[in-house]
Structure 1
Amino acid sequence: MGPITLFDKSFLQSLSVDESVWFDHFFLTNVCPLFYVETMADLEKSPQKGRTAEDEVKIIADKFPEMHGMPCAHHTELCTTNLLGRGVPMTGQVPLAGAQLVKTDGKSGAVFEPSPEAEAFSRWQKGEFLEVERLYAKAWRSLLLPLDSKVVAKEVRMLDIDAASCKTLEEAKHLADGVVVRRSRPAARMKLALMSLNIQTGLHGQVLERWMHANHPPLAQYAPYAAHVLAVVLFYKIALAANLISNERPSSRVDVAYLFYLPFCMMFVSSDRLHEKCASLFMRSDQVFVWGPELKSGLNELNKYYLKLPDTERDKGVYSFASDPPEIGNGIVTRLWGQLLPKWRKKEETDVADRPVVGPTINEIKRMASAPPLSPSAVDFNPDSTERFLIKRRVARRKGSWYQVPKGIKAEQE
């Protein structure tokens, strides 16, 4: 399934449908909530010549990674749980949203129904849009107004930061980090965090009580993921106040918000110049930023390579002939696999499609898929470490030039 990859709308929008098939096939994608709402917001865009706003959204929806897309939990929810004492892994795993806990065959499990976002993209592919989505799109668009530069400058001064002395994005990042790691004025810093992270007012007391009981540690120590998000927010405001990021482009607020989800990937691919400049500042040493046009070129080369196969091979579905990326062209896909998944070449050379699936395994999957969710009182295991999990998906049999599943599979089996 490939490296865990965060992507933004600009990248997916740049792909052809065929290229999107190979992106979905060779990468395990983190579908963050921001991508969904940003796409939905296009319903309120002024239509282009010959196309309606609905047409534009459908074009993006047709490229949605439905085979290997992982619905990431919202950053606000993750910040809230982190502040309340629950750990948030920040080493590349995608924190999935909407788990239903079950127990079958004596084993604990988590079942994920198709996410609301995935269901929406499936409808949008058919040109079906709900009125509530149009209203939400309008509300979202209204938020994409430039921030008041005077207000931003005042907020930065309240942090005892002189924006005029900040000359580079690296300095802005250093100043933002200082706010979340320092111990001085702890109460003021925690109040800043609760407000900036949009934590529900009703939970403030619970968070503060737990934080005070822990002896007022810096946010970076107390809730590392919440500290990461706050650092991104502060970095953006400092960079704006220092004129390192233009306030004339309202979408920059959305672009920067993608950085909230950087801990949950191995690589981030984008065709946005702001991401190219800023993303690496917030990434771990084992992560990579990939420039979108370069990966698009590599996916296009893969598509041309596989199109040379006879129809009899292609009709078997992409899994049967493309379990691993080949060494061709600029080789960026293979290079990324080698860099981020160094053990993949050592695995057993067995065609995935030819591996036998025994009957009991299929029956176990069916039982798990149909198992009723456990009530909270019946959960006798750690929800963060279930023995297995199942993700239900709605997948198109054919996408562009390619069968994602074997041609002979009937629609009701998909």
Structure 2
Amino acid sequence: MGPFTLFDKSFLQSLSVDESVWFDHFFVPVVCPLFFVETLADLAKEMKEGSLRTAEDEVRIVADKTPVLSGMPCVHHGELCVGSLMGTFAPHPGQIPMAGGRPVRNPEGKPGVVFKNSPEAEAFARWQRGQFLEVERGAAADWRRMLSELDLQAVGRGMQALGITPQNCKTIEEAHGIASSLVHTEAAPEQQLRLMFTFVDVPGRFQRAIHERWREAGFPPLAQFAPYAAHVLKVELFFQIALAAKLIAAERASNRADIAYLFYLPFCNVFVSADKLHRRCVQPFLRKDQDFAWGPDLKADLSRINVELSGASEAERLQGLHKFAPRPPGDVGNLVPSLWHRHGFELQKPEEQETAVPPEAHDKLLAHLRGFQEAATAPEVAEMPSDDLESLSIERLVPPKKGSWWLIPKHVADEERRQGRTVE
């Protein structure tokens, strides 16, 4: 498990299935909602005449490469903005905000949260089998329609009317600077709040409470009052300023969707994309402890890793990824090891001495985990700070093998199959 890494659809599409296995294994993928929606939208895609693939084939191919080992779907940015404005959410680098957890107390009474399979994970598992629901096809058509109806040129003209022109905003950095100054100022808080409510579509039932909370705080800069909400507003303002200054093309409606990936930057160490818009725009938004990785470069190093490890014996492969390849091969001259090194992960395997676990201890541990997962819901735990939780259980849909590689040890997969618990 390596750096938390936000990825976009263009990057995942560029990978082979084997390369996607190593991305999933050596990084903790941040699966943002936009990736799910964009993949789903391909169901409504018009294929080129003579193409041997259907729209369903395109979605299944992406689903086959989607991470399953360590990453998690992130909560939608709109929900997180409301939490930020209400004072109940603050982003923590290295933590993916997740939804749907059930608060429990384990058999010893200690608090924790149990996460079942996310709806997104279950949907991708279905898509891998070529199973699509009618409601998903309808949502795909709606998304495609929404993109086709976006009038980015009108958005650009609106900002030009406010004085943003190619003459006074000539670079991406200047557009970012203008947007940043707007969320760091103490001036015009009412206007800032109206923009926030418009861009994020904050439900009306929260708006009065948010306004009162900000007023009682003395209307400090939005970036201080609600850091995550300010980040999202800054991205939105940057996009509109860049359109007005003709730094971003207004002819591509998909640019509006692509820029939304930046909403999820606070939750990653690395952002990887093969999209030229991301490559041009992301740098001013990155913290000093974050990196942008160009998709083709990371793909090339994942390919190198795949080739190097393909020389392993069958006996080594059968051990599963965590035993067979706990760290990426290579040194800091290679991209994947360099990202591990920069973000504080060990590249050299320490000397390890295996200790056999007695069968009774193994059974006791499994019984303890099942007791935690099956514990009764404890509503009071939901009110506790996340740092006070003792346990976290995340259920995953993991196939035993993907592409050329065993994700889990074959003997474990065989036992799961014998018990009827395999996900194949």
**CA distance in 2: counterparts of 1:13 and 1:351, whole angstroms:** 40
- 8 Å contact kept, 1:72–1:95: yes
- 8 Å contact kept, 1:17–1:399: yes
**CA distance in 1: counterparts of 2:399 and 2:82, whole angstroms:** 36
Q: Counterpart of 2:368?
A: 364
Which amino acid is the alignment partner of residue 56 of structure 1?
E
- 8 Å contact kept, 2:166–2:245: yes
Deviations along 1:96-142, whole A, 9 cap, x unmatched?
22211111122111111111111110000000000000000111111
**CA distance in 2: counterparts of 1:384 and 1:137, whole angstroms:** 38
Q: Counterpart of 1:247?
A: 250
Deviating more after overlay: 328-337 vs 191-200: 328-337
Aligned with residue 227 of structure 1, among 218, 226, 230: 230
Q: Counterpart of 1:213?
A: 216
**CA distance in 2: counterparts of 1:152 and 1:387, whole angstroms:** 50
- 8 Å contact kept, 2:331–2:338: no
Shift of 1:188: 1.5
After TM superposition, the runs of 4+ consecutive aligned structure 1 residues lying more than 6 A away are 351-357
Shift of 1:366: 1.2
Deviating more after overlay: 216-225 vs 364-373: 364-373
**CA distance in 1: counterparts of 2:275 and 2:193, whole angstroms:** 32
Shift of 1:328: 6.6
**CA distance in 2: counterparts of 1:401 and 1:71, whole angstroms:** 25
Call closer, same or farther: CA 1:384–1:193 in 2, change over 3 Å.
farther
Q: CA RMSD in A?
A: 2.1
Matches within 5 A, 1:9-408: 9-48=9-48, 49-104=51-106, 105-145=108-148, 146-155=150-159, 157-158=161-162, 161-162=164-165, 164-327=167-330, 331-342=334-345, 344-345=346-347, 348-350=350-352, 358-375=362-379, 377=380, 379=382, 381-383=384-386, 385-408=388-411
Shift of 1:372: 2.9
Which amino acid is the alignment partner of residue 43 of structure 1?
L
**CA distance in 1: counterparts of 2:335 and 2:248, whole angstroms:** 30
Deviating more after overlay: 321-330 vs 191-200: 321-330
Deviations along 1:343-384, whole A, 9 cap, x unmatched?
x24774338997887443322211112223223x56573346
Deviations along 1:295-320, whole A, 9 cap, x unmatched?
11111111111111111211221222
Which amino acid is the alignment partner of residue 122 of structure 1?
A
Which amino acid is the alignment partner of residue 228 of structure 2?
Y
**CA distance in 1: counterparts of 2:392 and 2:72, whole angstroms:** 13
Call closer, same or farther: CA 1:320–1:91 in 2, change over 3 Å.
closer
Deviating more after overlay: 201-210 vs 256-265: 201-210
**CA distance in 2: counterparts of 1:354 and 1:331, whole angstroms:** 35
Call closer, same or farther: CA 1:24–1:354 in 2, change over 3 Å.
farther
Call closer, same or farther: CA 1:316–1:351 in 2, change over 3 Å.
farther
Which structure 1 segments of 5+ residues have no match? none
Which amino acid is the alignment partner of residue 63 of structure 1?
K
TM-score, with structure 2 as normaliser: 0.92
TM-score, with structure 1 as normaliser: 0.94
Partner of 1:286, secondary structure, is: coil
**CA distance in 2: counterparts of 1:45 and 1:106, whole angstroms:** 51
Which amino acid is the alignment partner of residue 156 of structure 2?
V
Shift of 1:413: 4.3
Partner of 2:29, secondary structure, is: strand
- 8 Å contact kept, 1:107–1:387: yes
**CA distance in 2: counterparts of 1:70 and 1:331, whole angstroms:** 26
- 8 Å contact kept, 2:332–2:338: no
**CA distance in 1: counterparts of 2:195 and 2:290, whole angstroms:** 29
Length, aligned pairs only: 411
**CA distance in 2: counterparts of 1:88 and 1:360, whole angstroms:** 37
Call closer, same or farther: CA 1:379–1:293 in 2, change over 3 Å.
closer
Deviations along 1:225-245, whole A, 9 cap, x unmatched?
000000000100000111100
Call closer, same or farther: CA 1:405–1:118 in 2, change over 3 Å.
same
Deviations along 1:72-109, whole A, 9 cap, x unmatched?
11100000011011131243321122211111122111
Partner of 2:65, secondary structure, is: coil
Call closer, same or farther: CA 1:35–1:352 in 2, change over 3 Å.
farther
Shift of 1:39: 0.4
Q: Counterpart of 2:8?
A: 8
**CA distance in 1: counterparts of 2:25 and 2:355, whole angstroms:** 14
- 8 Å contact kept, 1:298–1:329: no
Shift of 1:156: 5.5
Deviating more after overlay: 24-33 vs 149-158: 149-158
Shift of 1:216: 1.3
Partner of 2:93, secondary structure, is: coil
Which amino acid is the alignment partner of residue 365 of structure 1?
L
Call closer, same or farther: CA 1:114–1:378 in 2, change over 3 Å.
closer
Deviations along 1:245-287, whole A, 9 cap, x unmatched?
0011121111100000000000001111111111111110010
